[in-house]
């Protein structure tokens, strides 16, 4: 079977440098044998590139960034443009200003700075004093009235509004089809709520032991069916899951 692996970065691959180094070696062998590996992250493209150099992340066949709104293919050079076929598809019914308008300027939310906000993603941090989940639900209710938009809430503080057809799982499925690979032979790993879309999109998922509460709940509902609940954290948990699904050589 020609396997594809998609993994989140922060808190999934990172967190244990020794375990990451061991996993990176095994992923290199996996790729040499014909497997495909994608980094799937909320980071910007530049931040993901730094991770390849400075954090020992495994070399990848693709980098999906900005919570699934951008896809990059080799050679991974600075100032590279994302894959046009994906970007064009997402731009058809989304505007950043409309996404911003969903969040009321009531002092509970602050727009994330720098590269976190793009033409295809509006992102906030929760800074209010009330219940963050309740505040996020109010935004979700407004977004739900507009089928061209999707809201992602994770870690009890991070809120993203994307095109409805975006998200980590949607981007990775597009990439798997672009590579002419079988989606049933794709394994994905994550640690927060913004990975739910990715784990939902495929039949084999991994939730690392250090995952945030929202993903742990999601994973336990499906444990033993389509999701493996790792007993190890970080890269060790990813490796444990990949061995469970019999993916790595």
DSSP string, 161-215: EEETT-SHHHHHHHHHHHTT--GGGEEEEESSGGGHHHHHTSSEEEE-TT--HHH
Mention every residue, 6+ apart, whose C-beta is less than 8 A from residue 34.
Answer: 2
For the four alpha carbons of 50, 89, 165 and 239, in that order, the dihedral sign comes to negative
State both tokens at 10: 């922060």
pLDDT digits (tens, 9 = 90+) for 196-215: 999 999 999 999 999 999 99
Query: What radius of gyration, in Å, describes the C-alpha atoms of the chain?
Result: 17
pLDDT surpassing 90 at residue 115: no
Average pLDDT over residues 90-100: 95
In this prediction the pTM is 0.95
- Residue 233 has a pLDDT of 99
> Residue 217: which residues within 8 A CB-CB, separation 6 or more?
none
Q: Is-contact 72 65, C-beta < 8 A?
A: yes
Nearest to 105 by CA among 129, 131, 133, 124: 124
Domain map (residue ranges) of the chain: 4-84+166-244, 89-163
Q: Per residue in 20-40, pLDDT tens? A: 999 999 999 999 999 999 999
Residue 52 has pLDDT above 90, yes or no: yes
Domain spanning 4-84+166-244: which superfamily? HAD superfamily/HAD-like (3.40.50.1000)
Three-class SS string for 94-122? CCHHHHHHCCCCCCCEEECCHHHCECCEE
Top-tier CATH class for 89-163: alpha beta
Residue 27 has a pLDDT of 99
Q: How far apart are CA 215 and CA 212, in angstroms?
A: 6
Binning pLDDT at 50, 70 and 90, where does residue 113 land?
confident
Angle between helices 234-244 and 17-32 (to 10 degrees): 40
């Amino acid at each position: 079977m020609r396997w594809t692996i998609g993994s989140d970065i922060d808190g999934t691959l990172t967190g244990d440098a020794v375990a990451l180094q061991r996993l990176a070696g095994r992923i290199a062998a996996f790729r040499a044998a014909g497997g495909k590996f994608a980094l799937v992250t909320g980071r910007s493209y530049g931040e993901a590139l730094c991770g390849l150099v400075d954090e020992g992340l495994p070399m990848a066949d693709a980098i999906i960034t900005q919570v699934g709104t951008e896809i990059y293919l080799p050679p991974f050079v600075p100032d590279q443009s994302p894959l046009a076929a994906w970007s064009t598809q997402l731009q058809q019914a989304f505007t950043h200003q409309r996404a911003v308008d969903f969040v009321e300027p009531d002092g509970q939310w602050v727009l994330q700075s720098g590269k976190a906000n793009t033409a295809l993603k509006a992102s906030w941090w929760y800074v209010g004093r009330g219940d963050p989940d309740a505040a996020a639900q109010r935004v979700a209710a407004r977004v739900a009235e507009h089928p061209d938009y999707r809201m992602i809430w994770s870690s009890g503080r991070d809120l993203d509004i994307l095109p409805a057809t975006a998200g980590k799982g949607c981007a990775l499925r597009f990439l798997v089809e672009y590579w002419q690979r079988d989606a049933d032979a794709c394994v994905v790993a994550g640690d927060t709520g913004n990975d739910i879309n990715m784990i939902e999109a495929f039949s084999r998922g991994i939730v690392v032991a250090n995952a945030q509460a929202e993903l742990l709940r999601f994973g336990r509902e499906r444990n033993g069916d389509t999701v493996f609940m790792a007993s190890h954290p970080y890269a060790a948990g990813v490796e444990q899951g990949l061995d469970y699904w019999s993916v790595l050589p």
